């Protein structure tokens, strides 16, 4: 038996998936196992035959998402306007792999790149409509925001110390006075509404398109019940100008929620930028742009 992966990602490969399938779901053992073209960090995903995928957490911190998604996706799906993953089976630790894992139906589509989208403003409205439908779902017994969601859905104050450290590290690379004002505004705008369902990672890689339109939303690993502000970060990471305005109008949330959303976007961009080395110029430029967009948006809308 192989030893458990040491770093949470090492050792997760197609050969391991083949062994897990053969041992636990032998009816699928003859199917091909192929890495997906666009993979995530929290989980590794492999295509299983033509119609299924295998999804494996890469570290212990991502394990709670397995049971959460398995339980809640079937309950949320009927109320949502686009396709979400269908869980077909749940695997257990084995073959040297230490975590539970899942088999899901294959969700067709391409990740949401603006080059694949006919009308970005209409796409932004479709994303907003998905979020509004998710927010209308029954929250009874839903998982309240916390460690399982990496505090998405909780107040951004959870990341206050980290944000201020990043501001200090990036002094001279970003306008830290303006950035601090955005962060203070996010902390001051406390959520006072009823808790609602949030996805937790509304990003281009988790939105699938076909024929230029939104057709599916995947990766509900950070979902939960709480403040929906974290789901608005895409306003600055993907949208701008007309598409951002269309998204904001369609999602129809108050100014305080947008202030917290700017805080979420700023925290992540600062953290990523602070971690970029000399070889990460492209990633640094992307996050610098997000910071600039957030600061400009705060200046113009407050």
- Reported as a single tens digit per residue, the pLDDT across 176-192 is 999 999 999 999 999 99
38 pLDDT more than 80: no
Q: Which of 10-14, 81-85, 233-237 has the lowest mean pLDDT?
A: 10-14
Q: How confident is the model at residue 301 (pLDDT cuts 50, 70, 90)?
A: confident
- Over residues 127-138, the mean pLDDT reads 98
158 pLDDT more than 60: yes
At 27, phi and psi to the nearest 5? -65, -20
pLDDT of residue 143: 98
CATH superfamily entry for domain 14-105: Phosphorylase Kinase; domain 1 (3.30.200.20)
4 pLDDT more than 90: no
Structural contact between residues 156 and 263, judged by C-beta atoms closer than 8 angstroms = yes
Pairwise CA distance, residues 238 & 231, whole Å: 12
Give the percent of the chain with pLDDT over 70: 96
64 pLDDT more than 60: yes
Architecture per CATH, domain 110-301, reads as Alpha-Beta Complex (3.90)
- Over residues 146-156, the mean pLDDT reads 97
160 pLDDT more than 70: yes
The ranges assigned to domains in the chain are: 14-105, 110-301
pLDDT digits (tens, 9 = 90+) for 206-253: 999 999 899 999 999 999 999 999 999 999 999 999 999 999 999 999
């Amino acid at each position: 038996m192989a030893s458990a992966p040491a770093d949470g990602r090492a050792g997760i490969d197609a050969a391991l998936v083949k062994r897990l399938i053969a041992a636990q779901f032998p009816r699928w053992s003859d199917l091909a196992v192929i890495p997906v073209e666009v993979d995530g960090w929290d989980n590794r995903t492999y295509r299983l035959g033509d119609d299924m995928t295998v999804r494996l957490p890469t570290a212990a911190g991502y394990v709670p998402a397995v049971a959460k998604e398995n339980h809640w996706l079937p309950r949320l799906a009927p109320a949502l306007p686009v396709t979400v993953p269908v869980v077909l089976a749940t695997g257990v630790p084995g073959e040297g792999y230490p975590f539970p894992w899942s088999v899901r139906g294959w969700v067709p589509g391409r990740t949401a790149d603006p080059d694949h989208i006919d009308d970005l403003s209409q796409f932004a409205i479709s994303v907003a409509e998905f979020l509004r439908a998710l927010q209308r779902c029954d929250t009874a017994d839903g998982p309240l925001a916390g460690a399982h969601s990496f505090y998405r859905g909780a107040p951004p104050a959870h990341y206050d110390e980290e944000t201020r450290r990043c501001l200090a590290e990036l002094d001279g690379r970003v306008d830290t006075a303006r950035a601090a004002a955005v962060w203070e505004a996010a902390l001051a705008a406390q959520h006072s509404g009823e808790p609602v369902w949030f996805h937790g990672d509304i990003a281009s890689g988790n939105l699938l398109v076909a024929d230029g339109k939104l057709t599916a939303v995947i990766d509900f690993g950070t979902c939960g019940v709480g403040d929906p502000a974290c789901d608005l970060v895409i306003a600055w990471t993907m949208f701008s100008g007309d598409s951002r305005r269309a998204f904001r109008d369609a999602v129809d949330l108050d100014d305080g929620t947008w202030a917290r959303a700017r805080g979420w976007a700023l925290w992540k961009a600062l953290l990523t930028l602070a971690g970029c080395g000399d070889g990460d110029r492209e990633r640094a430029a992307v996050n610098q742009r997000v910071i600039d967009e957030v600061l400009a948006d705060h200046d113009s809308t407050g």
